Amino acid sequence: MTISAVIIGSGRMGRAHANNLSEMPDVRVVGCADVRQDAADALAHEFGAASACDYRELLERTKPDVAYLCTPADEHAEQITFAAERGINLFVEKPLAPSVRAAQAAADAVERYGVLCTVGYQWRYSPVTDTARAALGESPPTMLAGWWYWTIPPIPWIRDRRIGGGQVFEQATHLIDLMRYFAGDVKEVYATYADNAIPHEELPNWDASAVSLRFANGAVGSLHTTYALFPGIPGSNGVDVAARNLLVRINLGGTTVFRPGADPSQTPAPAGWNIDQEFVSILRRNDPGAIRATAREAAKSICVSLAANYSAVTGTVVSLEEFMADPPDDPRIMPVPGAAAGGDPTR
């Protein structure tokens, strides 16, 4: 069975996924779309694929098995609905959507039309995450701590919080989602953000965050992020999960398990592993039960990020249940719809 794929958004992430797919037997990239015709043409030429500015026309023409959405978050809900209506399976780059309502609508569309869909939370699928879960076994987590120490984003639209939504929304959503994978739903969020280190003209964004989480199962969590540092810091991102007499530290490079009276046990990530391998295997088996990062789970993770943004700008503790039931329409906490219009070939 040959699986045909269309890449929507022919920049950095679109190219990465296209390269991964092209290395698999019986997977063919049949189309590339981008709001910039030259970007679509350039990527399509590499894979002998069709190209278009209008993703709708390209999907209608090529009728692929799967569409990869490598576009900014504010474009996803419409693209997801269009593809799902036509029975096209979906890989959606995170973040799923720019707002609570849009994220819930995107998840509704996936469930209504019954397509296979995963969001690009690759940590859920990583073999090192399986190692961490096996180490925890039945031990309930009591504390989770995530951190991401980074630099000014090299991608212009991510750099501006009005377009990218801020580090907790655009980047550290990976850590929030991973913590939710281990501890379940979040009940309350309280966050404080700073912009002390970098002038606004250089970084129109928050440059640091401190987020406190209370999970519905009683566990507590924290998240610390910054754009004020530099690449190359060892262990610059990850999640710690603490249970009784057990600490599990996870990042994409591997998992380390700490137990009393024993040397740390380290499991490195397999060389060459990527999420596309996992998703293509799911497509081949037509196995919806194997999807770990569903659109519904991704919507919940994005709601936590947006609740953190809301807490930071209002100074309040946010109940996730109330926030999701009646989400505030506050432009300070989310990407502005249409702000990324025109596209960025480096996405």
Work out the average pLDDT over 15-20. Answer: 98
Same domain? For 102 and 230 the reply is no
Q: How confident is the model at residue 346 (pLDDT cuts 50, 70, 90)?
A: very low
The answer to whether position 343 is within a domain reads no
Whether residue 250 is found in the same domain as residue 117: no
pLDDT of residue 212: 98
The CATH number of the domain holding residue 54 is 3.40.50.720
Q: Is residue 345 part of a domain?
A: no
Helix (H, G, I), strand (E, B) or coil at 286: coil
Residue 242 and residue 199 share a domain: yes
Q: Whole-number mean pLDDT of the chain? A: 95
Sheet containing strand 66-69, edge to edge, reads 50-52, 27-33, 3-8, 66-69, 89-92, 117-119
Do 266 and 281 fall within a single domain? no
Q: Are residues 159 and 266 in the same domain?
A: yes
Mark whether 67 and 113 lie in a shared domain: yes
Chain centroid offset of residue 178 CA: 10
Structural domain total, the chain: 2
d(CA 32, CA 50): 6
State the average pLDDT over residues 180-186.
98
> Do the domain assignments include residue 263?
yes
Question: Is residue 330, in this structure, part of any structural domain at all?
Answer: no
Domain span at residue 221 reads: 127-271+299-325
Quick one: 71 and 158 in the same domain? no
Q: Per-residue pLDDT tens for 115-165?
A: 999 999 999 999 999 999 999 999 999 999 999 999 999 988 899 999 999
